[in-house]
Amino acid sequence: MSSADHLDDDCIFCKIIRVEIPSFKVFEDGKTFAFMDINPIASGHSLVIPKFHSANLYETPDEWVAVTATAIRRLAWAVEKTLEPAGVSIVQANGPGAKQSVHHLHMHVIPRGIDDDLMMSWELVPGDTDAIGELVERIKANLD
């Protein structure tokens, strides 16, 4: 079964994969597609998507998560070599609380500057170690 068998007719990213909607393609292989974000938050902001439609990380089969992660590394290296930013953020969102805007697994590569004012950081505030310890045990109980 080809990856085309796993695309959604109404998904904007699936339409980009099928070239029904134009994009600024960076690279493509048999399982992934990388392209520039047309609403960039920084110069070089780009995305990698699997050629398999699933709404988010939770619904994506492991093999597709793995190939997407490999492609994101390839793209991040190319962005690093090309732009020589102070850093690169890799961002992946799941659900409305994380501001996921397209319901197809995708990962952003965002070149960063030291004082770029992008709000993807937070203050380091020590947590309650007892509560952290209790929570880790609850999470462990739900690992597959």
What the chain holds in terms of domains, given with CATH numbers, is 3-118 (3.30.428.10)
Calculate what percentage of the chain has a pLDDT beyond 70.
93
Provide the token pair at 26: 């960076």
How far apart CA 92 and CA 80 sit, in angstroms, is: 19
Q: Between these two residues, 116 and 69, which has the higher pLDDT value?
A: 69
Residue 119 predicted with pLDDT over 80:
no
Distances from the Cα of 56 to the Cαs of 18, 45, 85, in angstroms?
20, 20, 28
Positive or negative torsion for Cα 96, 100, 102, 105 = negative
pLDDT value of residue 124 = 67
Give the predicted TM-score (pTM) of the model: 0.85
pLDDT value of residue 7 = 93
Average pLDDT score over residue span 108-129: 82
Give me the active site residues, please: 106
Residue 80 predicted with pLDDT over 60:
yes
Residue 1 predicted with pLDDT over 50:
no
Q: What value does the mean pLDDT of the chain take?
A: 90
Average pLDDT score over residue span 115-139: 79
